[in-house]
Amino acid sequence: MKLRDALRGIPILAGGEPGTEEITGIAYNSKAVRPGFLFGALRGAAQNGMDFVAEAEANGAAAVLSA
């Protein structure tokens, strides 16, 4: 699925408009990210997923979703 199709109707606050990136999976654990994945950088009780964006990108994340 293309990123822009997955996010249709959701306001984009940073990073510009989603493009034609092919999303092949979704993970919220940066260690589980594979090339083409959407990384969900979620804020948890003990850790913030934004602290792991660099690792997710190194593992091939196509995009990052944060809340």
pTM score: 0.82
> How much is the pLDDT for 6?
81
Q: Between these two residues, 25 and 3, which has the higher pLDDT value?
A: 25
In the predicted structure, residue 5 carries a pLDDT above the cut 70: yes
Q: Locate tokens 């249709």: which residue? A: 8
SS3 of 15, please? coil
Give residue-wise pLDDT tens across range 11-65: 776 666 667 789 999 999 999 999 999 999 999 999 999 999 999 999 999 999 8
Q: Which residues contact 3 (CB under 8 A, 6 or more apart)?
A: 18, 19, 20, 21, 22, 23, 38, 62, 63
- Residues 39/24, Cβ–Cβ less than 8 Å: no
The CATH number of domain 24-67 is 3.40.50.970 = no
Taken as a whole, the chain contains a residue count of 67
What is the domain partition of the chain in residue ranges? 24-67
